[in-house]
Chain A
C-alpha cells in the first residue's frame, strides 16, 4: 500500500496517521448511521439511539437555510463537551478550504473532519490538502470525478452531497446513482480508454485505474443530504451506499429519539420490508421539508465545491 502521508514508517514503532489507519476508521462505521448534533445533549440521544458516530456542527442544515448568514465550524467548547459526553467517534464540520478550522478540530481530538458544503465555503478554488492531517476526512461528492478528486487530496471517506436541510432525498439518490453508475461503467471500459476517461471526469488517472480494477471506491461511501425517514435510509442502502448521515431529519422531527432508533434499525435491516414497516410506524411528525426543486441560486448547497 502506498503511503501518501507524512508519517515515517519505522520498524518496531507505531505509525499513526497513515493512509491505512485513516481509511480504517470509516470502515468500522459501515452499516451505521452518523447523526448531526449541535450540543452534548443531542449527542447523548444519538448515542443512546445507536448512532455509530455523531457530527458536530453549529446549526443543523435546516436552520442554516432558515437563518442565512455565514455558517462556520462549531465553537470548540461545544465540540469538547460533545467529545466528553459520548464514547462513539465524534466528527465535526470545517468549511471547504478552511484548513485552519481543520487544524483546530484535529487538535481538539475529533475523530474525523467533514470538509462540508453545508458550511459557507472559505475557498472557492481549493479544497483542503487532507494528506497533511493525521485524522481522516469525509467529503461530499455529486459524481465519480468529484469523489476521486477528493480522495486524491486525501479524503478517507466519501458521502453524497444530496441537498442538506431539505428532507428531500431526491438529490442524495441522484448523486449515489451517478457515482455508483459511473463506477459500474468504468469496470467495462477497455484499458486504452481509461486515460481519456480520467481526463474527461477530471480525476487522477491512478485512482481511475484502481476503481476500474476493483469496481468500488478505495474508501467507504455513505449517503447524505435529505435523508429524513427510515425508508429513505433503507432506500440509499439498497441503492448501494455503505451507511448514512442524517442531519436535520432527526432533531427537526417530532420525536428525535424514536426516529433516530428507527433509522438505525432501518439501516441495519435495510433489505427487510417487515422490519422497515414496523419501525416506520408512529414516528410522529417528520421534519417539515422543502422540495429540492424549489431551491434557487445559491440555496443549492451541492453546487459548493467542485
Chain B
C-alpha cells in the first residue's frame, strides 16, 4: 500500500443491509468510512462496499429516486474504483442473475444464482480456503448466492467444495480487476483478512497523491 498519512476513504452503500458491520471492520482494518445514500457522496471515494441485504428491496430503490446513485456508482466502477460486493452486493454487480431481470449494476462477468442453498435453516458457517489468505477463513453464508459461471478475466479465489455437503457447491469468491465479490459475510466475524485484502486493492488503485488534507 502507498505510504500515506491519510487513511483511504471507503464508502459503504447504506440503503439497506448490514452496512454498519462493514464500516466497523473497515475502520479496524485501517480505512475511513462513509455511509452512501446519495449520488453526491460518491465522487471522492477511494473504494466502495456493497453490503449484504435483500437484493429485491435494493433493486426496487434503483427504479425510483435512487436511480441516480447507481448510475454514478457504475460510472466510478468503470473508471476503475475498487468495489466489493458481499452476498446481495455480489448479486448487484453480476452481469447475469439466473431467472431474474431485477435491477443491478451488471458490471462483472459472473452469473449468480440467488439463494442457492435454500431457506434460513440451510444457512451455515464453515472454514473456507481462500487463495492467498493462508489459514481457512471463518465464512458465514446467510441465504447466500453462488457464482455459477465466470467470464474471461475473472479470478476464482474461493470455492465451496461439494464434500462439505452444504446442499450446494461452487464459486463463492472471485475478482475481476477492480471488482471483488464474496457470497459470504466477512463483516460478521472478527477476522479482518478479507477487508484487508480489499483495502490492498484500494491502496493499489489510489493514483492521486494521498495527502493529509483529509476530505
Contacts and interface: CB of A to CB of B under 8 A. Distances in A.
Contacts of B76: none
Contacts of B118: 109
Contacts of B166: 14
A295 interface: no
B56 A50 contact: yes
A112 B134 CA distance: 35
Interface stretch (A23-31, A93-101, A122-130): A23-31
Interface stretch (B121-129, B147-155, B206-214): B121-129
Contacts of A194: none
A3 B86 CA distance: 25
Contact of B121 (A16, A87, A269, A275): A16
Contacts of A52: 16, 53-54, 57
B188 A27 contact: yes
A28 B61 contact: no
Given A265-B64, A275-B65, A106 B188 contact: no
B127 A11 contact: yes
A146 B112 CA distance: 41
A47 B95 CA distance: 22
Contact of A12 (B66, B121, B127): B127
Nearest to A18: B125
B120 A136 contact: yes
Given A14-B126, A16-B123, A109-B121, A28 B19 contact: no
B60 A48 contact: yes
Contact of A14 (B19, B52, B66, B124): B124
A32 B65 CA distance: 17
A25 B120 CA distance: 8
A110 B122 CA distance: 11
B140 interface: yes
A265 B123 CA distance: 29
A189 interface: no
Contact of A13 (B60, B61, B126, B142): B126
B142 A30 contact: no
B14 interface: yes
Given A20-B188, A52-B53, A88-B57, A28 B121 contact: no
Interface string A204-239: 000000000000000000000000000000000000
Could you tell me the dominant secondary structure of chain B's interface residues?
loop
Contacts of B165: 13-14
B156 interface: no
Interface string B55-77: 01100110011100000000000
Contacts of B125: 14-15, 18, 20-21
A261 B61 CA distance: 9
A269 B15 CA distance: 8
A25 B60 contact: no
A28 B54 contact: yes
A78 B41 CA distance: 44
B195 interface: no
Contacts of B60: 48-50, 261, 264
A221 to B, nearest CB: 12
A52 B126 CA distance: 26
A106 B37 contact: no
A176 interface: no
A51 B54 CA distance: 9
Contacts of B114: 87
Interface string B105-135: 0000000001100111111111100000000
Contacts of A173: none
Instruction: Report which residue of B53, B57, B118, B122 has the largest number of chain A beta carbons within 10 angstroms of its beta carbon.
Output: B57
Nearest to B124: A14
A55 interface: no
A53 interface: yes
B88 interface: yes
Given A28-B143, A109-B118, 5 more contacts: A12-B164, A13-B126, A25-B143, A88-B57, A111-B119
Q: Which 6 interchain pairs have the tightest Cβ spacing?
A: A50-B60, A111-B120, A14-B124, A109-B119, A31-B16, A52-B54
Interface of B: 14-21, 37, 52-54, 56-57, 60-61, 64-66, 87-88, 114-115, 118-127, 140, 142-143, 164-166, 185, 188-189
